Amino acid sequence: MILTKPIVLLTVTLNSTIIFILFFRPNPLPPKQDTMARSFVLWLHGLGDSGPANEPIKTLFTSPEFRFTKWSFPSAPNNPVTCNYGSVMPSWFDIHEIPVTANSPKDEAGVLKAVQNVHAMIDKEIAAGTDPKNVFVCGFSQGGALTLASILLYPKTLGGGAVFSGWIPFNSSLIEKFSVDARKVRNLLQTPILWSHGMADRTVLFEAGQAGPPFLEQAGVSCEFKAYPGLGHSISNEELRNLESWIKSRLSSSS
């Protein structure tokens, strides 16, 4: 069974002193309006993992731009998984074989069903007032594959999608569907994608990651691909630091 635990946890203890002024308290100044926009980061975990296990990721994003960021770490439903002999575990959709290669069989029906659930989460946040251009979907491994599908099929421009050690979860025939949708919704294919992949990954082979940029280029999607020598099937702190900078640059341009 593949259990992904993608990050080293950092614990910070803060000591604080609270001083109460009981007499002659001056009238408080009106609060300064903060110009930083509210943002939303949706993180999709890998096969066999859970949302709560990934929540410490947000503690690494310490830049002021993330002061008003809402994070969401949903958990996948329990489903039988073919590559693990039908064992039931948290899984967004079925995976037929491990390692995943560029030509592995696809569970397109399962992916599209999972995409609907991701879109419902995004829709709910946008309805609550978050600008779509400040919405970011990120995912590791199976969650990275679902991130890619969710970004490509969402009918609005979002801030970005980040794929870590993921793969293309559908066949190239869907590129034609993207093109049709693009004609209906002109801004569909403007959501940028950051793709990071370890060159020593033996679970989702590096070739599966390398297949991403050419596929996205055919679909007219901008993709920044980063290869990490020596990295296996996990997320490094270096990748997360790069993600922080990548999101920051888009928050400042879309706020």
Contact 52, 76 (CB under 8 A): no
CB proximity list for 251: less than 8 A, separation 6 or greater? 36, 37, 39, 65, 134, 159
The dihedral built from the CA positions of residue 224, 157, 246 and 53, taken in this order, carries a sign that is: negative
Rounded distance between C-alpha atoms, residue 138 and residue 180, angstroms: 25
List 223's β-bridge partners, or say none.
Answer: 193
Selected catalytic residue, list 49, 196, 233, 234: 233
Tell me whether residue 45 is one of the annotated catalytic residues.
no
Selected catalytic residue, list 141, 150, 196, 234: 141
Tell me whether residue 141 is one of the annotated catalytic residues.
yes
Selected catalytic residue, list 91, 201, 234, 236: 201
Rounded distance between C-alpha atoms, residue 93 and residue 113, angstroms: 8
CB neighbour burial string for 151-175, b if at least 16 within 10 angstroms, e if fewer: bbbbebbbbbbbbbbbbbbbeeebb
What angle (nearest 5°) sits at the alpha carbon of residue 89, between those of residues 83 and 94?
45
Tell me whether residue 34 is one of the annotated catalytic residues.
no
Sheet strands side by side (includes 39-44): 69-72, 39-44, 135-140, 160-164, 193-198, 223-228
The pair of three-digit structure tokens given for residue 172, joined into one six-digit string = 């190239």
What residues act catalytically?
141, 201, 233
